[in-house]
Amino acid sequence: MIGWLLFVVLSAALGGMAGLTEPTGAEQSVRDSARATAILEEAGIEEPPAESVMVASRTEGGWRTAAADVVRAVEDTGRVKDVREPLPSKDGRAALIGFRMRGAADSTDEKPITEVLDAVEKVREGHRGEGVEIHQYGEASAGKWLNEILGDDFAKAEWTAVPLALGILLVAFGALVAALLPVALAITAFLAANGILALVSSRLHIDEQTNSVMLLMGLAVGVDYCLFYLRRERDERAAGRDAQTALRIAAATSGRAVLVSGLTVMVAMAGMFLSGLLLFQGFAVATILVVFIAMLGSVTILPAALSWLGDRVEKGRLRLFTRRGGRGRERTAAHPGGTGQPGGAAQPEGAAQPEGAAQPEGAAQPGGAGQPEGAGRHAPGGRISGALLRPVLAAPGLFAAVAAVAMLVLAAPALGMKTEQLSLEQQMSEDAELRVSAEKISETFPGGPSPARVVLKADDVRSAETRAALADFRSALREESSHFGKGVETRVYADSDVAVIDVPLAGNGTDEASLAALDTLRDRLVPDVLEPAAADGQAYVTGELASSTDFNDQLRDGIVPVFAFITAVTFLLMLVCFRSLPIALASVVLNLLSVGAAYGVMTAVFQHGWGDSLFGTQAVGAIESWMPLFVLVVLFGLSMDYHVFVVSRIREAKDRGAATREAIREGVRATAPAVTGAAVIMIAVFAVFATLSMQDMKQMGVGLAVAVLLDATLVRMVLLPAVMMLLGERNWYLPRWLGWLPRMEHGEAEFDATGHAGAANGHPGAEPATVDEVPGGARRRQPVG
């Protein structure tokens, strides 16, 4: 435990000293957008942030006095330069004033833009009641909003998600110490991973947004792994095992499942390296780090803490969760479903206490007098899971068909999914002042707030050929007035032989008109007019829409290898883990159903606006471009947690000799409380992200919360048992040519009184055993004598 704390403190301290190294603009972009940005960065050109102020009036020319006041006010701040004369609109009722902030675009000093915003606000107040509207939007004002929102949102996620998880665990365990363990593991894993990530970022630059993703994943897997491990240990203690034996059994069962699940999640996350996008490579490194550390902690520090705490893990028990009578763990509903056997703790199915093993006070001895019928077996899970399972196992075909159809219906809207890199104004809520300003400016001056940017690298930008090409380009833009707006701005950097042309696009910046204008620039005007004058044809188009288009194109090409990698690796890992071809295939298909349903809900809510008010958001007509791939990878990873734990418990019962129906029933019901608790925590954490201000965080929160809800209910409680029931003994089919696969044990060994492995189930050194029938038709091995 001391070693773990030192590891966490050292990692966090070293990472804090190193700091997070964020990617450059060129590294964050791809294709032509990246090439254009790279030219500017190599030339040392730091484009100052551009700002636009629109002054609108009810009458033609009624804006002139207010516009003059705006120009004077912003110039008096001393924070701006290159202030342009007001550009009138087509109807003459508005004018656009453009200027640039002094200083670099990536400056973290918000004082200059704050002073400019205050100056414009004073002019607005001075002309209030005169029928004049003043709106401001630009890179600096949007950046100020973004920095404030990111700080507030991250703090909200951190300080809301953790107490939520703790509260749910307190309800699940009924004891403060037991509830604190999973949260403590998740938080320390996140802190250590965060520090190591900062060190790694010196080689692979990491986007700041990755921290939120890592916190989410750290809470998810850290709590899951600890919850499953702790639940199994408490099951065994409630079944009459001594503390050391219970820990060894938990390590041999849940500990093994944690390792398999963690490996599956990490390998699935590694698929993001194939996307070709730095953002996803950062996500991959961050999630692999936090999952590895959480997995490592679950099989080291957790059993160490449980060994040290012993029965003190029950400290802080709430009266609400305490039963009358009994002692400590004997009055706790610790095992699945929380039922106890009369006269003492319930025994897991097939478990026999070796002669002389210590029994808890009041426990019935195997074979002894007064043992109630069914003693010596795990009590089944809770009433709810039992009630749900009964009809599913009775009519598996019907329930499998209904559940599959329901998932496919939910997934149907995804067929029309539209993705794009959401602009900053799209990230804001509909009533945000900056978004209102951006939309009004775009409506009156198309392309004004976010023009396309053409970057030209020439051998000699001052040559007659280059000057002529620039003049011809401006003429061509005027001839294509249906595609391009007013206010084309050209800046020539003679020392670097670079020219930058800002070209307002028709439309609202993301619609068909804007896309057509971008295509005209890239496919015809730039190649025909500018490229002949460029050095080695270096003339590229960037900007918000161009970057979004390039990013989408890269994602579209990259998602195929990522998808193929994740599905193939998941299939192979499940095949090795369970030595079953049907189980491996079912794992992939069920996960794909969950992902499809998540896509469908996201598309319905955030693209079409169906029920968006129920989620406290507004539709923006598109899904953030990186979201589908991210959701695919995260859901494949998280859903494998539940799948591995449930199927492992089913296989454990099967290996003890239970019939297929009984094994499914026992496995699902035994894991139902833990899976439900883990799912509720994940849904709550994701729901916190759905309440944040940024649109992409809302989409991620809603998509993942809905997917986990469906995965833990329809998939794990209905589809999985129904499909396995239909397959029957074919669940465990493995072709002969795959017989060389390693065999992984899923059952627990019999343990002697000292807690060491003894006789059972073919383990090396086992005593001769006989097979006895036990109540319920299950079969178990019991040591002779």
Q: If you average pLDDT over residues 525-538, what whole number do you get?
A: 90
Q: If you average pLDDT over residues 572-600, what whole number do you get?
A: 90
- Note the pLDDT of residue 166: 85
- Note the pLDDT of residue 379: 42
What 8-state DSSP symbol labels residue 499?
E
- Note the pLDDT of residue 481: 81
Q: Is the pLDDT score of 323 beyond 50?
A: no
> For residue range 691-706, what is the model confidence (pLDDT) as tens digits?
887 888 889 889 889 9
Among 54-63, 442-451, 458-467, 630-639, whose mean pLDDT is lowest? Answer: 442-451
256-270 helix and 627-655 helix, angle to the nearest 10 degrees = 160
pTM: 0.75
> For residue range 223-248, what is the model confidence (pLDDT) as tens digits?
888 888 888 888 888 888 888 898 99
- Note the pLDDT of residue 333: 38
> For residue range 85-115, what is the model confidence (pLDDT) as tens digits?
998 988 899 999 999 898 766 666 788 999 9
How many CB atoms sit inside 10 A of residue 573's CB? 20
Report residue 486 as tokens: 């007013």
- Which stretches of 482-580 are DSSP H helices? 512-520, 544-578
- Contacting residues for 107 by C-beta, under 8 A, at least 6 apart: none
Which carries the bigger pLDDT value, residue 349 or residue 515? 515
Q: Is the pLDDT score of 561 beyond 80?
A: yes
Mean residue pLDDT across the chain: 81
How many CB atoms sit inside 10 A of residue 99's CB? 23
- Note the pLDDT of residue 226: 87
Q: If you average pLDDT over residues 707-728, what whole number do you get?
A: 91
Q: If you average pLDDT over residues 575-585, what whole number do you get?
A: 89
Q: If you average pLDDT over residues 305-313, what whole number do you get?
A: 87
With contact defined as beta carbons under 8 Å apart, do 62 and 86 qualify? no
- Note the pLDDT of residue 105: 62
Q: Is the pLDDT score of 324 beyond 50?
A: no
Q: Tell me, what amino acid is at 741?
A: L
**What are the φ/ψ torsions at residue 100 (nearest 5 degrees)?**
-125, 145
Which carries the bigger pLDDT value, residue 71 or residue 612? 71
> For residue range 25-53, what is the model confidence (pLDDT) as tens digits?
888 888 899 999 999 999 888 878 889 99
Q: Is the pLDDT score of 340 beyond 80?
A: no
- Note the pLDDT of residue 76: 93
Tell which residue, 733, 732, 669, 716, has the closest CA to residue 399: 716
DSSP 3-state of 21: coil
Tell which residue, 436, 458, 459, 439, has the closest CA to residue 448: 439
Q: If you average pLDDT over residues 662-675, what whole number do you get?
A: 88
Report residue 520 as tokens: 């005209």
CA–CA distance from 413 to each of 33, 606, 607 (Å)?
A: 31, 11, 10
Q: Tell me, what amino acid is at 586?
A: A
- Which stretches of 619-694 are DSSP H helices? 627-655, 660-690
- Note the pLDDT of residue 321: 52
